Each structure stands twice: as C-alpha cells, then as structure tokens.
Amino acid sequence: MILKNKVCIITGASRGFGKELAILLGQKGCRLVLAAREENELKLVAEKINKLKGNARFIKTDITNYNDIKQIVSLTLTEFKTIDILINNAGIMIIKPFEQMTRKECEYIIDVNLRALINLTHLVYLHMLKKGKGHIINISSIAGKRPSMNKAPYCASKYGVTGFSEALALECKSKGIKVTNVCPGAMKTHLFDNVDAKYKKKYVFMEPKEVAMVLVSALESNGCLDELIMTQMQ
Ligand SMILES: NC(=O)c1ccc[n+]([C@@H]2O[C@H](COP(=O)([O-])OP(=O)(O)OC[C@H]3O[C@@H](n4cnc5c(N)ncnc54)[C@H](OP(=O)(O)O)[C@@H]3O)[C@@H](O)[C@H]2O)c1
C-alpha cells in the first residue's frame, strides 16, 4: 500500500504505540488526525510530526463518548475531505484476579476497548462504503488470541476486537474495504503503569517503536494483510 497522502485517523495517539505509529506514518506522508483525551500530549505529537514536514491535526477525544467520536469523523472530513485508513488503537488494561475487579472496571474495559472501537468503525465504515475503499486496522492483542492470567475482561475485550475484525473482513471483501487485526505481545508503554509489579515481572517487553515499524512496513509491502501477530522471542 502506498501511504503517501493517505488520510489516517489514529485513536490513542497521545502516547505509547499510537504515538510511535503516528510519527512513523507522518514520516511516510500520511495526513493524520490524532485522537485521545490528553490534549497537551496530542499537541506535542502533532507538533513533532509537523516539524518533520508531516501533516497532523489532533482532537481531544474520549472515545467512550459518542459525540466525541462523531467529532473525529467530522474534523477529518472537514480538514481532509476523506478517510482512507482508520487505526483503532486506544485501549486500557487492568491486570488483577477477577474477584478483585469492580463491575465499573470490567465495564470500562469493554467500553473503551470494544464498544467505542465498534462505534467509531461504524461511522467511518459508512464513509468508506460510499467511496468503495478504505482500510480499517484494529489493534487487538495477543490477549485477543490466547487466554492470559488475571486479565479476563481485557481478554474478553480483545477477543471481541479479533472477532469483530474477522467477521467484518468477511463483509468487506466484496466492498473494497480491508480489515487488518493486529495482535502485539507486551510492549513498553504506559499500559502497564498501574499494574502491580508482581504481575508485571512475567512479561518480556518489546519496544513500541520497533513494533510500529514492523506494522508500517508490513502495510507498505502488503496492504491486504488480514492479521499480524507480533510477539517477542523468549
Ligand atoms: N502495551 C502492550 O503491552 C500492548 C500489547 C498488546 C496490545 N496493546 C494495545 O495497544 C493499544 C495501545 O496501547 P499502549 O500499549 O500504547 O498503551 P498506552 O501507552 O497506555 O496508550 C493508550 C492510549 O489509549 C488512549 N486512551 C485510553 N483511554 C481512552 C479514551 N477513553 N479515549 C481516548 N483515548 C483513550 C490513551 O490516551 P489518553 O490517556 O490521552 O486518552 C493513550 O493514547 C491498546 O489498544 C492496547 O490494548 C498493547
């Protein structure tokens, strides 16, 4: 896939994997709309991209808020007239035994990681359908392919993303729209900030920049990937 000039929305672009992806895609010439809640962080990412002669806008968004989601789409269409790529990356994780999780925590994981992703995809999909082309990239997780201890609601949300990606891909095939499900293993990002050290120590972490480089080069060399699993050699 040629990335130059493609209009791309990235959620969760204020830090971590989304930020690294945004910088790389900016360098490849994508025109970007970056969304997340932390406006100052987003602004810094957009400034960095624009200083490198990229073209990035940003919008403060809580993706659990449907009005905010609609604003991402309308800003993108106002600024760039089209949407070529949607990268659903925003996500949260809580690691602890299920009995220690509150109902609120369980619901919030599903709200951010799955419900919001489906809602934004739906709006963007309607636009892509009219154009007869587009690419939806969902950042699931290896926890969306295999069970993982003390992460039952997170696994449920990510298995949900994987299932959504696979099923939507079947519908999209004849409509010119591609769906890629991305399943990284553990990366050194802020996702683990609130995880207790006793759970954290079993992970081997990859650098988010390196994982982002693999994803971008995979997209450049084969735009038809339906799934990309990236885990660290043990
Ligand atoms: N790190 C890993 O080990 C790993 C492994 C596999 C998959 N993943 C997936 O990779 C994706 C990116 O995570 P990360 O590792 O880069 O973690 P991170 O550093 O914590 O970044 C998460 C991003 O999601 C955004 N976000 C969270 N809640 C949001 C909300 N309600 N509305 C809008 N944005 C929201 C955050 O921005 P604000 O706080 O500014 O809103 C931030 O930009 C997630 O989907 C995660 O599940 C991560």
Residue 218's pLDDT is what? 92
With a threshold of 0.85, does the pTM exceed it?
A: yes
Residue 224's pLDDT is what? 83
Residue 233's pLDDT is what? 77
Q: Is the pLDDT of residue 115 over 90?
A: yes
* Closest atom of ligand 1 to CA, residue 93: 47
Strand partners, 58: 34
Of the candidates 32, 27, 18, 189, the residue with the CA atom closest to the CA atom of residue 117: 18
11 Cα to the center of ligand 1, angstroms? 8
Asked if residues 45 and 34 have their Cβ atoms less than 8 Å apart, the reply is: yes
Main-chain phi, psi angles of 203, to 5 degrees? -90, 145
- Quote the distance between the C-alpha of residue 81 and its chain's center: 22
pLDDT average, residue stretch 146-169: 97
3 Cα to the center of ligand 1, angstroms? 23
88 Cα to the center of ligand 1, angstroms? 10
Question: In the CATH scheme, what is the homologous superfamily, with its name and number, of domain 7-229?
Answer: NAD(P)-binding Rossmann-like Domain (3.40.50.720)
Q: Is the pLDDT of residue 234 over 80?
A: no
Spatial neighbors of 32 by CB under 8 A, at least 6 apart, are: 7, 8, 9, 10, 13, 22, 25, 26, 46, 49, 54, 55, 56, 57
Main-chain phi, psi angles of 57, to 5 degrees? -110, 165
Which one of the listed residues 66, 108, 125, 154 is annotated catalytic? 154
- Maximal C-alpha separation, the chain: 50
Label each residue of 47-111 as H, E or C.
HHHHHCCCEEEEEECCCCCHHHHHHHHHHHHHHHCCCCEEEECCCCCCCCCHHHCCHHHHHHHHH
Q: Write out residues with Cβ below 6 Å of ligand 1.
A: 11-12, 14-18, 36-38, 41, 61-64, 89-93, 112, 139, 141, 184, 186-187, 189-191
**Other CB atoms within 10 Å distance of the CB of residue 234:** 5
Query: What pLDDT digit, counting tens, does each position of 173-194 carry?
Result: 899 999 999 999 999 999 999 9
Which residue among 146, 189, 209, 228 has the greatest number of ligand 1 atoms within 8 angstroms of its CB, and so is best to mutate?
189
**Cα–Cα distances in angstroms (integers) from residue 129 to residues 16, 24, 81, 176, 231, in the given order:** 31, 27, 15, 8, 33
* Closest atom of ligand 1 to CA, residue 188: 1
Distance CA 162, CA 205 (A): 22
Which residue among 191, 230, 231 has the greatest number of ligand 1 atoms within 8 angstroms of its CB, and so is best to mutate?
191
161 Cα to the center of ligand 1, angstroms? 14
Q: Is 154 a catalytic residue?
A: yes
174 Cα to the center of ligand 1, angstroms? 31
Lowest mean pLDDT across 1-5, 81-85, 181-185, 220-224 = 220-224
Query: What pLDDT digit, counting tens, does each position of 24-70 carry?
Result: 999 999 999 999 999 999 999 999 999 999 999 999 999 999 999 99
Lowest mean pLDDT across 66-70, 166-170, 222-226 = 222-226
Question: 1 pLDDT band (50/70/90 cuts)?
Answer: confident
